[in-house]
């Protein structure tokens, strides 16, 4: 049976902790990227609504002025 030394076991644990931190950092980065994409899409929708509302308002004012 293979027995690990305390030092080797500690190194394995430290490597596992580093891997976990790296995976967590990647997950956070992926979440931030997804949030940025969503935020950009929401901004585009908002700008289209503002543009539509402005155009609609201009049509209404033009119509009443005539």
Tell me the per-residue pLDDT of 26-47, one tens digit each, with 9 for 90 and over: 999 999 999 999 999 999 999 9
Question: For residue 9, what is the enclosing H or E element?
Answer: helix 6-65
The reply to whether the predicted model has a pTM over 0.85 is no
pLDDT at residue 24, rounded to an integer: 98
Q: For tokens 């990227």, name the residue.
A: 33
Contact predicate 12/4, CB 8 Å: yes
pLDDT band for 63, please (50, 70, 90 cuts).
Answer: low
**Percent of the chain with pLDDT strictly greater than 90:** 73
42, burial (CB in 10 Å: exposed 0-12, middle 13-18, buried 19+): exposed
The Cα 24–Cα 40 span in angstroms is: 24
R_g over Cα of the chain: 28
């Amino acid at each position: 049976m293979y027995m690990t030394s305390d030092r080797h076991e500690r190194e394995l644990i430290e490597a596992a902790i580093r891997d976990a931190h790296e995976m967590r950092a990647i997950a956070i980065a992926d979440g931030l990227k997804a949030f940025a994409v969503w935020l950009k899409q929401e901004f585009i929708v908002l700008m289209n609504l503002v543009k539509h509302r402005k155009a609609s308002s201009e049509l209404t004012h033009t119509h009443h002025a005539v």
